[in-house]
Amino acid sequence: MGCCRRIIGLGRGLGGARWAGVLGGLIAAVAVGLAGPRSKPASGPASKPAVKFTVASYNINYGNPNLPLIVKTIRKANADLVCLQETNRQSARYLRAKLAGLYRHIGFRHAGGAGGFGFLAKKRIKAVKFIPRKFGYFGAWVVQARLGGRNVHVANVHLFPIVPRRNEGLGGLIGLLVRTEGIRANEIKHICANLPAKGPVLIVGDFNSTSQMRAYRYLTGRKYVNSFASVTPRADKHVTWGWRYRGVDWQFRIDHIFHSPHVETVASRIVKSAASDHLLLVSTLTWAKRRPPATGTAPASTRPARRAATAPSGGDKAP
């Protein structure tokens, strides 16, 4: 009360207008003190950086032309998951010994000739199924991989190669290409029928198919995205495979990484190396921001189904 009397006495000594101003200021100061310090405007949660992960495809050639350089090429790519084709027992032992420090989870599936598959993974993978060959030589190996914090079905594929007979002329080679197109189209249809229609899916490997061919177009028609082509202008000017046949250098982009719309490609590149007749393809991927549509159901086969071909004793040496 004494404090209040002093304030009132002070007010009497001041003019009425000045007293009103002082009193208003005091009331405002008291109100601020009672309310406490002003809080800063609430801001929304900080946006998290996009999760990225890398996937590679590499046909290492079952003839084991240069295993030390194969290892060097894989290390250079440093992908989270590597899908290998044409592995065998010798290359499997060598890669496991040299790459166990980089890849904690390694698996191989052996078959005769060029039919082997392998996976190198930094995080866990779980075998889901092997899709037996029905139309071609090799079938496909499907695993569930942990990529970017989510489970992804990954199909490692090696579609029917074009293996010319000895002294095959250009006309015969073109005819062989036409005849085998239907086999690869039926192969990829059979593989897709064994993959989930919902959830993220990657189809990775040696397709023996360019972007003009039926297997490639079948996947893009089902809303699968070709990773390299999605970020590379004039993608077909780049090659992933080369072979010299009858004095002609055949070079094409036939190794691919396809992904369902759950995934987007950030970057994709081809790693140059003389280790194999194929080059390593690696893509940096992230999760799509929009809710993706389900991959479409397979259309009716455009060609009559053919029985499984007999695997050749030679490797994949065709254009």
Q: Provide the percentage of residues in the chain whose pLDDT is more than 90.
A: 65
Q: 64 pLDDT band (50/70/90 cuts)? A: very high
Pairing relation of β-strands 81-87 and 225-226?
A: unpaired
Query: Residue 273 belongs to what H/E stretch?
Result: none
Q: 18 pLDDT band (50/70/90 cuts)? A: very low
pLDDT beyond 70 at 7: no
**Averaged pLDDT score across all residues of the chain:** 82
The CATH number linked to 251 is: 3.60.10.10
Q: What is the mean pLDDT of residues 201-207?
A: 98
The answer to the question of residue 194 being in a domain is yes
Quote the tokens at residue 164: 């010319």
Total of domains in the chain: 1
The answer to the question of residue 251 being in a domain is yes
Predicted TM-score (pTM) above 0.75:
yes
The answer to the question of residue 254 being in a domain is yes
For residue 86, what are the β-bridge partners?
A: none
The answer to the question of residue 23 being in a domain is no
Q: 50 pLDDT band (50/70/90 cuts)? A: confident
C-alpha to C-alpha distance for 59 and 54, rounded to whole angstroms: 17
The answer to the question of residue 10 being in a domain is no
Contacts of 305 (CB under 8 A, 6+ apart): 135, 186
The answer to the question of residue 7 being in a domain is no
More confident residue, 13 or 117: 117
C-alpha to C-alpha distance for 5 and 9, rounded to whole angstroms: 6
Q: 293 pLDDT band (50/70/90 cuts)? A: low
Q: What is the mean pLDDT of residues 147-175?
A: 85
More confident residue, 200 or 6: 200
Q: 25 pLDDT band (50/70/90 cuts)? A: very low
> Could you please report the per-residue DSSP string of 218-275?
HHHHTT-EEHHHHHSTTGGGS-SEEEEETTEEEEE--EEEEE-TTEEEEEEEEE--SS
Query: Given this model, what pLDDT does residue 163 score?
Result: 76
Query: Given this model, what pLDDT does residue 214 score?
Result: 96
Extended beta strands in 14-70, E state:
52-59
Least confident of 146-155, 265-274, 296-305: 296-305
Least confident of 82-86, 239-243, 255-259: 239-243
Reported as a single tens digit per residue, the pLDDT across 87-145 is 999 999 999 999 999 999 999 999 989 999 999 999 999 999 999 999 999 999 999 99
Q: 213 pLDDT band (50/70/90 cuts)? A: very high
Query: Given this model, what pLDDT does residue 246 score?
Result: 75
Q: What is the mean pLDDT of residues 78-89?
A: 98
The dihedral over CA atoms of 209, 85, 107, 192, expressed in degrees to the nearest 10, equals: 20
Q: What is the mean pLDDT of residues 191-217?
A: 96
Q: How far is CA 3 from the centre of its chain?
A: 76
Query: Given this model, what pLDDT does residue 294 score?
Result: 61
pLDDT beyond 60 at 78: yes
Structural domain span for residue 176: 52-287
The answer to the question of residue 262 being in a domain is yes
More confident residue, 19 or 42: 42
Q: 259 pLDDT band (50/70/90 cuts)? A: very high
Query: Given this model, what pLDDT does residue 33 score?
Result: 38
Contacts of 229 (CB under 8 A, 6+ apart): 211, 235, 236
The answer to the question of residue 295 being in a domain is no
Taking phi first (over 0 means left), then psi (-120 to 50 degrees means alpha), and beta for anything else, what does residue 181 get?
Answer: alpha
